[in-house]
Amino acid sequence: MPEHELGVRLKEIRTSAGLTQAELADRVGVSRKTINTVENGVFVPSTLLALKLAATLKKKVEDIFFLA
């Protein structure tokens, strides 16, 4: 089975919403560093975190994350 990489549009969506990494982190209950590592593709978020990010940014999970 081929491996897929997770594509992330979080930074683009976050900045469009006018939020800093720290502000978004505070709203979803994680550290700023967690947001940074998700944006840079270093960390794959849990389903719970992905859903919280989508709800906070008023987007669908698929708008933020996709299979590359």
Two tokens, residue 57: 């940014």
Residue 8 and residue 64 in contact, taking contact as beta carbons nearer than 8 Å: yes
Whole-model pTM: value is 0.91
Query: Is residue 5 classed as helix, strand or coil in its secondary structure?
Result: coil
For residue 3, what pLDDT is reported? 62
**CATH superfamily to which 6-61 belongs:** lambda repressor-like DNA-binding domains (1.10.260.40)
pLDDT of residue 1: 43
| Domain extent listing, the chain | 6-61
Q: What pLDDT does residue 35 have?
A: 98
The model's pLDDT over 17-64, given as tens digits with 9 standing for 90+, comes to 999 999 999 999 999 999 999 999 999 999 999 999 999 999 999 999
